[in-house]
Structures are given as structure tokens and as C-alpha cells.
Structure 1
Amino acid sequence: MISLSENEQKKRKPLWTKVFLVTSLSNLLLFFSFQMLIPTIPTHISQLGGNDFQVGLVIGIFTISSLLTRPFAGRALDLLGRKHVLLVGLTICALTIAGYSYMAVIALILAARFVHGIGWGISTTSLGTVIADIIPPERRGEGMGYYGLSNTFAMALAPLTGLWIMQTYSFHRVLLISSLLAVLSLFSSLFISYAKPVPVEKSIQKTKLIDRLWERTALLPSVLLLCTAICYGGIVTFITLFGLEAGISNVGWFFLCNASMVLIVRPITGVLFDRKGPEWVLLPGALFTITGLLLLSYARTEFSLAIAALCYGIGFGSIQPALQAWTIARAAPDRRGAANGTFFSANDLGIGLGAMVLGALANLSGSYALMYRFSSVLIIVFLLIYGWSFWHVWRSVQLPQR
């Protein structure tokens, strides 16, 4: 006799299709190319004689252009189709990275970073929309979890790889490999092919401009993502300085342990999201994130730093893909581009705010440890917002029964 679980297993649509693998590979190559430049471009700017303000501007201007681009990229995806927009974004990324090699003036690099941010905003929004189209709805959480592993793998290895190549060879060698990876991402995307999404209705096309660029159903998950992204921005920006303050010689353990835990939990929490719903992932994920931030603030050894990273990795690895899957589930098929644009814009904005606001907070408090403790309040805000929305939905379901 076949059990119910076996019947359900037979009815489930396949996840590991050719287009899923190709899209994940393209995303991996793009993120690896991008992550190699994160620690190396600031060093290159310093070697050219740039000051701290110019180094920060190189990071900030990229975030700004990406943030400004995403809503328009989302709208273009819904109107013009996924593949054409994706190829345009990847082409911009590949050409811009290759162009860095010919720029010896900081002003030109800043201009190139602005253009690169446009390509990045288009490419990542496009890939996120493509993957949302092809993942079976009943396996959305699981699929997003596996897809997100390509980001995590790149975040764990690419910065270290970029620094090693720069120290062993040169920054130009880093650019050569980074641009090659971007070209490979572009090449692999040529093989992405699947059924066209539902066409945009005329009634949607007549809506206000703000509604064309932003997806209202994505606002709640995006606000929740904003809270977690601010915390993450504070970590990636100031973890090295925190290590100096706390007397921890090698803060690289945090990234390694964090990435390792994310790799483990994403597939598990993805399945949990599909079977139980977002609350079963978001609430425990938030608690682990708070625990990780508080443990990080009290870390004084590499071992305690690793424990903090493991807890934070469970929370971070659970929340981000669950929120993205929830965003897609709430949006209509012909609004997935706008939904992804709204979602990723919140991520960009949060990381940028985390660097600026939490940096100012650290300056006022005189301690990076206190900054991380204060940042945990944002996750409490996360819990309050989600708790309110959950109660509101539950109440709306219960009231008609009275």
C-alpha cells in the first residue's frame, strides 16, 4: 500500500530541471565575479592615492545606482520579457568589469562603478525573477533555499579568492578573472529557456507609475528584509574593526562559520516553509539572529566569534530565502519582476543604511560591541511587524465565522 507521503511525492513537480541548474549556475558565476571585487577594489583605490571618503564612495555609488535601477528593471521584466533584460544586465556587468583595467583615475572608476551598479541591479533582479517563474509553487521555499546556496558559496569563497589573487599576482589579474566569470554567466544565460509568463493586462498598464515600479504585495516581506539587511550591513562593514576592538586576530572565522551554517539550513528551512508556512521559518530565524548578534557583541575569542557566527548563520540562512519565497507567493505571475525589484531594493537599501546608521551609532557609543547590541533591536522590530501582520490576517479569517 502506498502511503500518503509517497503519493504526495509522486505529485510533486521536479525541481532540479535543466533551466533551474543553468539559472543557478549563471547566478553563481555572477556573484563570484562580484564578490571577488568587494575587498580588492577598495584596496586598489587606496593604492591609487584615494582617501577613506573616496573608498566609501566607491561602495556607496554602486549601491545607489543598483537601488535606483531595480524598480525599472522589474517593470521591464514584466513588460519586455525575462531573458532579453537579463542579457542586457549581464553584458553591462561584463563590459564594466573589463573596463576597470583601463582606468587609472579614481573619477573614472567611480563613473564605472555607477554603471556597474546598473548592470548588477538589472542582472540580479532578472535572475531572481527567472528562478521564481520556474520553481514549482508547492516547492517554492525549497527551491529558493537551494538557489540561494549559489550566493552563499560565492560569499564564502570569492572574497578570499580575490584577495589571494591580488596579493599573489595583481589587481589586474583579479579583474581578468572576474570579467571572465561575468562572461561565462552571460554565456550560460543564453541557454535559459522556458514558457513565457502570463502577459500583463491592460488594466495593469494603466495604473499609476509608482504601482508599475513597486509591487504592493511585496512591501511587507521587503520591510522585514530591510530590518535584517541593516544588521547584515553593520556586520560586513565593521566586523574587521570590531575584531581589532575585541582583540580577535582572525575575524575570517565569522564569515566561514556563517556561510557554512547557511549552506546547511537553507535546504531544510525551504522544505519547512513549503509544508508549514512562513511563520515556522521566520520566527525561529529571528530568534537565532538576535542570539547571534548578542553573542557577537560579547565575543572576545575566535571560538566565541565562531559560536556567534553559527547562530547568526542559522537565522540569516532561514530568513532571507523564506522572505523571497513569500514575496513571490504573494505576487501575481505578471508582477513577479516588480516584486523582485521591490524585494532586492530593500536589501540594497538596508545594507547601505547599516553601513551609515550603525557606523554613526558606533561613533556615538564609542564601541562596535554596543552597536551590535543595539542592532538586535531591529530584529525585535521585525518580530513586532510580522506578529502584527500575522494577527491581522488571523483576525480577518476568524471574524466571518462569528
Structure 2
Amino acid sequence: MSRPRLLTRGFLLVWALTFVTFFAAFQLFPTVPLRLRELGASLAESGRFMSLFTAGSALGALFTGALGDRLGHRRLVVVSALLFALFLGAYGGLSVRWGFYVLAFPHGIVWSGLLTATMASLSQVLPEDRRADGLSLYGLASPGGVIVGPVLGLWIQQRWGFAPIGWYLAALFVLLGALGSVLPKDHPHGRAKGFQWPGKAVLIPSLVFFCVALGYGALGSYTAQEGLALGLPLPSAFLSCMALGMVLMRVIMLRRGFGTRPIRLLPAMLSTALGGLVLLALLPGGTLRHVASALVYGAGYSMIHTLINAKLLESADPQRRGSAFGALLFAFDSGIGLGSFALGWVIGHSGYRAGWALGALAVAASLPLARRLSRS
């Protein structure tokens, strides 16, 4: 009996939408802190944009996920992409740093709507018996965008400044909204009749995501700044190599397969991500340290999302998938925001390596929860 096809029109459309989203966002995330430094922000303060952005995304996810269940995920993708374009255009015209902080929180809410609606749309285009394979293949979209996004964003900023980044990304998200309008229609199970909270199945996965995100929180804001401080020839080396590690691990897992219980691999992948942060904190040197630690961290980190999302697709009520993914995003972005703030404070006062070591401790705290989840 032949296996169901993964590369359907609907799957490729969701994949492309996710790739463009992360390609654009990861031009913004490493360049906004540098723009804030130009406007007078300190090293520690430059991470506040991501703290506020992820706080908005975290709180918004509790409601935007359920909103997508109620109003339709395709509609939410389109509206979120167009609102995202408005925020990006506004950033391009700002000349005071407080303006970035004011816009960051509502911008994060819109980001949560885009991500939760996209993930819920994905559930409609994956064959039930190939979810882990499909999620692994789908997972190449976001690191693919992360590989090239920071390089392009930093290159544009260093030559023409920050404003062109905001303006051209605004136009890109308008095109993204048009792409979202041809997503598959909502699942025939129907939309939810009201706002519904996710069930107990998301509790342990959300706690794992929170711990992982504490360690991840400062990487987007501070690895490029450490690269610039060290005079590395490619300041975005960590982010790009992290994404490369994610891609390589996904290719390996697609060839190897996930078995009948993919979630059992979660502790090993968390341990790999932990090892990457330990290397970043302890290895000597600059470029080679960033490259080696990023490849290891990215290899483990990429599978954490795939394994937990596959588990959630299996256990969540189909009418509450948006709210379930919203709960995961709330936990993850809460961790990113807190991690960016706390690790940023540590980096500002004790140096980059102290921040990376603290991030490693946060990831280590998730291992007991992951073992429990892998046995469930």
C-alpha cells in the first residue's frame, strides 16, 4: 500500500508562507537592537524590543489561537500579514527609540495570530499517519528563512541603514497576505462555536517550551552583537549556522524516520541543544566557537518543535487546535521575552559567556519534563 503524498499544493503553500515569514522576521530581529544602539540605547536596553515583542506575542497567543478557531485560520493569516506590514513600515520611519518599544507589544500580538493560524492550517494538509515526517519537512521552512534573513538584514543595514529594511519588508508582507488568501479552506469539522481554552494535553509540552525558550531568548538579540564586538567577519554566523544545523538534522531525520512514537526522541534532542549552549559559553575563540555551538544547538533545537507539535496534533481536539498551538506559543514567547530580558541583564553586567551559561541551565531544567512526556 502506497504512503500518502506529503508534497501537495496545500502543503507547499503553507511551507512557502512560513519561509517568507521567518525570512522577513529574522532580518528585523537582529537589526532592531543595532538601530536602538544607534539611537542611544545601552547594550542591556537593546534587548527590550524583543522582550516587549515576545510579551505581546505570548499574551496574544492565548486569544489569537482561539480567534482563528472561531473566525477561520485562513482569514486570520491574511489580516495578520497585512497588519504586520503596517508595523514594519512604521519602524522604517522612526527616529526615537521609545517608538520601537511602544509598537513592539501590539506587533507581537499580530505575530502570534500569524503563527498560530499558519500552524493550524498545516494540520489540514498533513496525512494523519505521516505527521512527524510532514512536520520535519515543514520545519525546513523556518530555518531556511533564518539562514539567509540575518545575513541580508545586516548587509542592508550596514550599507544603507535601517529604514530600507522596514519599508521593503512591509511590501513583502503585503505579498504574504495575498499568498495567505489562497490557503486551503478551513477543515470540514467546522469552526469552534466560541472561544475555547486548550485541554490538559498542552501543559507539559508548554512547560518544556518555556524552559527551552529561556535559553533561546537572548540568541536573536545578542549573538550578532557579540559577533560585532569580537570583530567577526560574519557577525550573523551563529544565527545562520544555527539554522543550517536545523536543516541538516531535519534532512537526517527524514531519511532515518521517526518510528511509531516520535516523542521518545525528545530528551536526546534537548540534550543536544543544551550541549550547543554549553559550547557557546565555554569554548575559546570567536568565529569557530559561534559556528560549532550553533550547528550543535540548531540540530537539537529544530527537532524539539517537530516532536512536540506532532504530539499535539495527535492529542488536541480538532476544534481547539488553534488554541492549543496558541498555548504553546504563549509558553514559548513568554520564555523568550523573559530570557531576553534576564539574559540581557546578565550579559550587560557580566559578559556574553555568563548569559550563555545561564541559558544552558534553563534548558537543563526541561529535561525531567521531557522524559515524562516521552513516556506518556
Residue 70 of structure 1: how far off its partner (Å): 0.8
2:339 maps to 1:315: no
Equivalent residue, structure 2, for 1:284: 268
Indicate the larger mover: 181-190 or 237-246.
Answer: 237-246
Residue 247 of structure 1: how far off its partner (Å): 8.9
Equivalent residue, structure 1, for 2:343: 358
Residue 340 of structure 1: how far off its partner (Å): 0.8
Q: What is the CA deviation profile of residues 272-320 of structure 1, one whole-angstrom value per residue up to 9, with x for unaligned ones?
A: 6752323442122122122222222222133344222222122112212
Equivalent residue, structure 1, for 2:370: 386
**Where do 5+ consecutive residues of structure 1 fail to align?**
1-6, 394-402
Equivalent residue, structure 2, for 1:125: 116
Rounded to whole Å, the distance in 1 between the matches of 2:357 and 2:47 is: 24
Equivalent residue, structure 2, for 1:333: 318
C-alpha RMSD over aligned residues: 2.8
Equivalent residue, structure 2, for 1:198: 189
Structure with higher RCO (Cα < 8 A, 6+ apart): 2
Mapping for residues 20-39 of structure 1, pairs under 5 Å: 20-39=11-30
When residues 164 and 25 of structure 1 are mapped into structure 2, their CA distance, relative to the original with a 3 A threshold, is: same
When residues 342 and 189 of structure 1 are mapped into structure 2, their CA distance, relative to the original with a 3 A threshold, is: same
Equivalent residue, structure 2, for 1:67: 58
Residue 163 of structure 1: how far off its partner (Å): 1.7
- Find the partner of 1:346 among 327, 331, 345: 331
Equivalent residue, structure 2, for 1:396: none
Aligned positions, number? 375
% identical equivalent positions? 26
- Find the partner of 1:165 among 156, 159, 174: 156
Indicate the larger mover: 51-60 or 374-383.
Answer: 51-60
2:204 maps to 1:217: no
For normalisation by structure 1, the TM-score amounts to 0.83
2:97 maps to 1:113: no
- Find the partner of 2:278 among 283, 291, 294: 294
Rounded to whole Å, the distance in 2 between the matches of 1:163 and 1:242 is: 14
In terms of fraction of residues, the more helix-rich structure is 1
Indicate the larger mover: 301-310 or 63-72.
Answer: 301-310
**Counterpart contact for 1:74–1:213, Cα < 8 Å:** no
The amino acid of 1:224's aligned partner reads V
**Counterpart contact for 1:25–1:185, Cα < 8 Å:** no
Q: Secondary structure at the match of 1:134?
A: coil
The amino acid of 2:124's aligned partner reads D
Q: What is the CA deviation profile of residues 111-130 of structure 1, one whole-angstrom value per residue up to 9, with x for unaligned ones?
A: 33333222211111111111
For normalisation by structure 2, the TM-score amounts to 0.89
**Counterpart contact for 1:199–1:334, Cα < 8 Å:** yes
Rounded to whole Å, the distance in 2 between the matches of 1:186 and 1:316 is: 29
The amino acid of 2:14's aligned partner reads T
When residues 276 and 378 of structure 1 are mapped into structure 2, their CA distance, relative to the original with a 3 A threshold, is: farther
When residues 173 and 144 of structure 1 are mapped into structure 2, their CA distance, relative to the original with a 3 A threshold, is: same
2:309 maps to 1:324: yes
When residues 201 and 356 of structure 1 are mapped into structure 2, their CA distance, relative to the original with a 3 A threshold, is: closer
**Counterpart contact for 1:141–1:321, Cα < 8 Å:** yes
Indicate the larger mover: 280-289 or 332-341.
Answer: 280-289
The amino acid of 1:258's aligned partner reads M
The amino acid of 1:257's aligned partner reads C
**Where do 5+ consecutive residues of structure 2 fail to align?**
none
Rounded to whole Å, the distance in 1 between the matches of 2:197 and 2:325 is: 11
Equivalent residue, structure 2, for 1:42: 33
Q: What is the CA deviation profile of residues 178-230 of structure 1, one whole-angstrom value per residue up to 9, with x for unaligned ones?
A: 1121111111111112452423576xx5xxx7xx2444311211211112111
Mapping for residues 228-239 of structure 1, pairs under 5 Å: 228-239=212-223
Rounded to whole Å, the distance in 1 between the matches of 2:362 and 2:90 is: 39
- Find the partner of 2:244 among 232, 237, 260: 260
- Find the partner of 1:96 among 87, 109, 124: 87
